[in-house]
Amino acid sequence: MEIARKFKNQFSNVPMFGWLLGFLAAVLVEFFLGYDYISLVLGLPKIPVLFGTLVILKNPIMIPSIIAYDIIVYIIPILIVTKFTVSMTNKIATALEKTPIWLSTIIHLALFYGIMHLWAGINDYRILVIKLTMVSIILTISINVINGYQGEFSCSHPGFMAVGAYVSSILTLLLFVNDKMFGTALLPSALGPWLFPFILIIGGFAAALSSLLVAIPSFRTRGDYLAIISLAFMFIVKSAIENMDFIGGARGMSSQPDYASLPVIFCWTILTIWIVHNFVTSIMGKALNAVRDDEAASESMTVKTKKTKIIAFMFGAFWAGIAGGLFAHVLRFINPGTFSIQRLAEILAMVYFGGLNSIVGSIVGAVSISVLGEALRPLELFKWIIIPLILIFVMIYRPYGLISFKEINVKKLFRSKNK
């Protein structure tokens, strides 16, 4: 304990910029030395993808090498660089504090993206994991608007996601791809990546419209009853798609163009975080909390409760639709089975694990459950014993999730830590 505290004290004056620099160093070490020297010397067959968790579970003999690899590649460079550049990074952070907040945010995000790009570039599997994790972040934030901020227990999220995924897939296949389902492309495929954002937005709006089916019953019911209605909505969407043969029915749709690249998804994730953050910190967005905590009081305080509920559902569903569209273009294959009860369990696990009423919580929840899910993949069935167990412990010790009722404070996050 004493050592841990000392250790923490040593690094408490490192600003966010310093940590990013440290991670950059670690990633550069891995990029240039990872395969040729470090993993070869340690006797690893290749660079450990997710910090070696997969290898550990498959082949326990490798554990010492994996630990050594993680220490050499990640921990040592990060600690050395952050420690030795601390005076410089604090100066930079102080300088950035004087610039407008959006500029310093963009600089930090650009640096973060660069690091992530380098790290992911080493391996295709990493790219896929990061893409799916970011899609999960968008999904978790969007369900947090309904289940956290608005406080309804809605189970219809896979349905909204399916609507978004199908609408955007149909549009891209129809417009930009020659395939057997919709015939020749209507527009030159060079336009595709540029029009992709609009297609995603159309998918989002379609999902938002479909959410009215759940939003309107929510005027009169709450809690368990609304959960049942929303669950019904999810199954209706699923079986409706299964019975529509012109979009593939139960077989699904494939060969979506590869428009959802890493930077595209990253931009959408940041956009989601930014807009949802703006909304939930404004008085308009706080109205969601007011309606959740006491509807009668909100009405008497001039809050339009019905409008607020509709906004919450449509807004949440819109981002779920966007996430669905991105998801379809990451996997480049969707079928109705993808948007079923298992997906619902995953989304709910992420939002309740991470924390209700908090964007940071959603990010933490989405990242930890997605990465945990990937890392525990070798355990196969046991994965579904371990993750629920973790969830149960979170529910016992932190009933609202790990980080709940907290909003991001960008200024505080990036400030310098001079002593």
Provide the binding-site residues for other proteins, judged by CB under 8 A.
275, 278-279, 282-287, 289-290, 292-294, 296-305, 311, 357, 405
**Residue 405: CB minimum distance to other proteins, A:** 6
CB of 34 or CB of 148, closer to other proteins: 148
The C-alpha atoms of residue 114 and residue 173 are separated, in whole angstroms, by 31
**Residue 16: CB minimum distance to other proteins, A:** 22
The C-alpha atoms of residue 246 and residue 184 are separated, in whole angstroms, by 15
The C-alpha atoms of residue 271 and residue 112 are separated, in whole angstroms, by 15
- Number of separate helices (H) and strands (E) present in the chain: 21, 2
Q: Where are the alpha helices (DSSP H) in 122-184?
A: 124-143, 157-176
CB of 124 or CB of 407, closer to other proteins: 407
**Residue 295: CB minimum distance to other proteins, A:** 9
Q: Which of 406, 378, 380, 390 is nearest to 349 (CA)?
A: 390
**Residue 247: CB minimum distance to other proteins, A:** 31
CB of 179 or CB of 299, closer to other proteins: 299
**Residue 249: CB minimum distance to other proteins, A:** 37
DSSP, residue by residue, 47-103: --TTTTHHHHHH-GGGHHHHHHHHIIIIIHHHHHHHHHTHHHHHHHHHHHHHS-HHH
CB of 241 or CB of 311, closer to other proteins: 311
CB of 258 or CB of 294, closer to other proteins: 294
CB of 171 or CB of 291, closer to other proteins: 291
**Residue 60: CB minimum distance to other proteins, A:** 46
**Residue 183: CB minimum distance to other proteins, A:** 38
| Distance in Å from the first CA to the final CA of the chain | 24
CB of 176 or CB of 315, closer to other proteins: 315
Of how many residues is the chain composed?
419
Report which secondary-structure segment, H or E, holds 122.
Answer: none
Burial of 20 (0-12, 13-18, 19+ CB in 10 A): buried
